[in-house]
Amino acid sequence: MARQLNTPSDRLYGVVMGTLALAGLAILVVPVLIVLVSSLTSSTVLRFPPPGLSLRWYEALLDPGRSRHVHVALWNSLWVAACATAIGAVLATLAALALNRASRASARLLEAGFLSPLVLPGLAFGLATLMYFSILGFRPSLNLLIAGHIVVIAPFIFRTTLASLTQLDPALHESSASLGAGRLYTFRRITLPIIAPGIAAGAFLAFVSSMDNVPVSLFLSTARTNMLPIRMWGMMETTLDVRVAAMSGALIVVVLILMIVMDRLTNLTRRMSM
């Protein structure tokens, strides 16, 4: 007998799951809306709800005189994120190409090791990175920040690239080789165009993750190489500056726009679910 779908237990299950889904959505969205509204306050203190709406704190954020330290931290974060993403994309793509063809158990261990930064505690990894570079005699700098961020963000690119490689038909390589094409030509004309959306999707996730990274930046940055998340934390901890809300609002809007664009160009949502 076919199971009835309109029983009281089915309706109760639907109500419970719908309530949980709405609660989860509220937990994710409501704080973002509160930050956006608070960034438009006309008050000199950060509070919700705001007494009035104004763009004064966005103007203060753009003022080079009042927010010079914020601009320096933003530039450092952009530079580190861009360099780490570019280098990480190359390394992760090469690793994905190598491990995708290997079928031995050692390849699976290497794959798990490459993805391990995603599951390691961030603070533990940041402290370990600081101790490691200190033992080697390196002093904190932007180059060390780039190296630390590469390890953290490369797994994002590796995962999406590896997912894209599963869509690559081996017959395409065989056909290319039978027609006399070399490996480099085959990679440039066949492999790379197929996996390019996966690389782009992973690079976008890696860039955003680097911009938002706190543990590695906390241990490897100095007063001269201050990063935006650390600067925001310091401003919020000492004076509860309203510009922190303005920075958060600007980042939310920019990332949302970039997310929509990247999803249209690379089908990011489907690749993240693989």
Spell out the domains of the chain, with CATH numbers in brackets: 66-272 (1.10.3720.10)
Q: Angle, nearest 10°, between helix axes 105-115 and 68-101? A: 170
Q: Is the pLDDT of residue 171 over 80?
A: no
Q: Is the pLDDT of residue 237 over 50?
A: yes
Mean pLDDT of 25-36: 85
Q: How many CB atoms lie within 10 A of CB 107?
A: 14
**DSSP secondary-structure letter at 217?**
H
For every residue of 175-201, DSSP letters joined together read HHHHTT--HHHHIIIIIHHHHHHHHHH
Mean pLDDT of 139-155: 87
The band of 190, judged by pLDDT with boundaries at 50, 70 and 90, is confident
C-alpha 163/C-alpha 252 separation (Å) is: 28
Token readout for 113 is 């090791």
Q: Is the pLDDT of residue 93 over 60?
A: yes
Q: What is the pLDDT of residue 2?
A: 45
Residue 65 contacts residue 186 (beta carbons within 8 Å): no
C-alpha 20/C-alpha 108 separation (Å) is: 36
Q: Is the pLDDT of residue 25 over 50?
A: yes
Residue 214 contacts residue 125 (beta carbons within 8 Å): no
Residue 199 contacts residue 187 (beta carbons within 8 Å): no
The band of 245, judged by pLDDT with boundaries at 50, 70 and 90, is confident
Q: Angle, nearest 10°, between helix axes 8-38 and 243-266? A: 130
The band of 86, judged by pLDDT with boundaries at 50, 70 and 90, is very high
3-class state of residue 165 by DSSP: helix
Q: Is the pLDDT of residue 240 over 80?
A: no
Candidates 153, 165, 40; CA nearest to 100 is 165
pTM of the full structure: 0.80
C-alpha 205/C-alpha 217 separation (Å) is: 17
The band of 102, judged by pLDDT with boundaries at 50, 70 and 90, is low
CA distances from 247 to 48, 162, 232, 242, 250 (A): 17, 34, 8, 9, 5
- What residue type is 48 in one-letter code? F
Mean pLDDT of 170-190: 72
